[in-house]
Structure 1
Amino acid sequence: MSSVANLLMIAAVVVLVVQRQMRVQRLDTERRFWLLPLILGVFALRDPQIIDHQHTALSVALLAAGMVTVLAMGAVWGWTVRIWRASDGTVLLKGSKATLAAWGGMIAIRIGLYAIGSALHVHQAGSALMLGMAVLLLVRSLVVNWRARTLEPAQTTPVLH
């Protein structure tokens, strides 16, 4: 897949995910939250240009730094999402202003890593961004699902004081 196609796919996923995160939505615990990250990861890892073979050590270091960053940002993102249980017992979630700030921070860090790579003349494939997106979405989903499992059950009878 070409770099332009990778970037378009990443941009589409970002727009879709952020747009969905800012609306109240029901968390479906039976949903296969790992499916989209798996698909993105497979496409990314199939790209032989994910590592710049002329600058292997630097390329691997930048890729590793990017993965550590998205691991951390995925966890932060998962903790910025508001989660609550509705009266019918369903789990609801919605992104907050902190969610948008987490996205802004992640994008700024990614731009910084790209700038470092460019300054060092390391070719950076769009597939590295796609792999990062896969890791980010997976970690965020793991955190949100874990937090949802720790919610108290909904009250079915009114609490008397």
Structure 2
Amino acid sequence: MPGLVNALVIVAVVALVVVRQFRARPIDTDRRWWIVPLVLAFLALREPGILDAHHRVGSAVLLSAEVLIGLATGAGWAWTTRVWTEPDGVVWTRSTKASAVVWGVGICLRVALFALGALVGMHQDSSALMAGLAATLLVRSGVLTWRAQSLKRSAVQGAAYGDSVARSATKERV
């Protein structure tokens, strides 16, 4: 039963994250962005079946590869996400088509890793997938928070000439 619960948690988190990330939304750099990945990592690592009892070294290598794929996917996703600052100083974010490609490649690599493990006869638990997802979300959230904070700092530091001048309501053309 824990495998089914883990699978449902993974599907729910992925669905929530993907749906939310492909819509423009403000990013809050003051929130605790590391909590969800930390909870997922805790849920993954508390499972005794995360390593195959008969193939400890091989399953540890596969788990390490899963986490590395998660780290790379998170970094790729964060760097392909569009981040911008509105005139009121709020930083916004939205994933792009390149972000979807990064997700697709990450999923393909995870499927290949699972197939490799099944080919050599290793038992693979869903907790390894959850650990990889935790790594993905941790790196992505950390990089996006860092990018957003650097945008906020540059917006505050670099006031442009004419910022204090009242603007007309009509759209300016260049």
TM-score if structure 1 supplies the norm length? 0.94
Cα shift at 1:149: 1.9
The residue number in structure 1 matching 2:90 is 90
- Cα RMSD, aligned residues only: 1.7
Separation (CA, whole Å) in 2 of partners of 1:3 and 1:145: 32
Separation (CA, whole Å) in 1 of partners of 2:129 and 2:22: 23
Cα shift at 1:158: 7.3
Question: Higher Cα Rg: structure 1 or 2?
Answer: 2
Number of residue pairs matched by the alignment: 160
Separation (CA, whole Å) in 2 of partners of 1:71 and 1:135: 5
Please say if residues 41 and 134 of structure 2, whose CA atoms lie closer than 8 Å, have aligned partners that are also in contact.
yes
Aligned residue for 2:83, secondary structure, equals strand
Separation (CA, whole Å) in 1 of partners of 2:111 and 2:37: 21
Aligned residue for 1:16, secondary structure, equals helix
Please say if residues 114 and 124 of structure 2, whose CA atoms lie closer than 8 Å, have aligned partners that are also in contact.
yes
Aligned residue for 2:130, secondary structure, equals helix
TM-score if structure 2 supplies the norm length? 0.87
Paired AA for residue 76 in structure 1: G
Match of 2:155 among 143, 153, 156: 153
Write out the 4+ residue segments of structure 1 that deviate beyond 3 Å after TM superposition.
none
Structure 2 segments unaligned to the other structure (5+ residues): 166-173
Separation (CA, whole Å) in 2 of partners of 1:142 and 1:105: 21
Separation (CA, whole Å) in 2 of partners of 1:127 and 1:57: 17
Q: Does 1:24 align with 2:21?
A: no
Paired AA for residue 31 in structure 1: R
The residue number in structure 2 matching 1:76 is 76
Cα shift at 1:5: 1.2
The residue number in structure 2 matching 1:5 is 5
The residue number in structure 2 matching 1:51 is 51
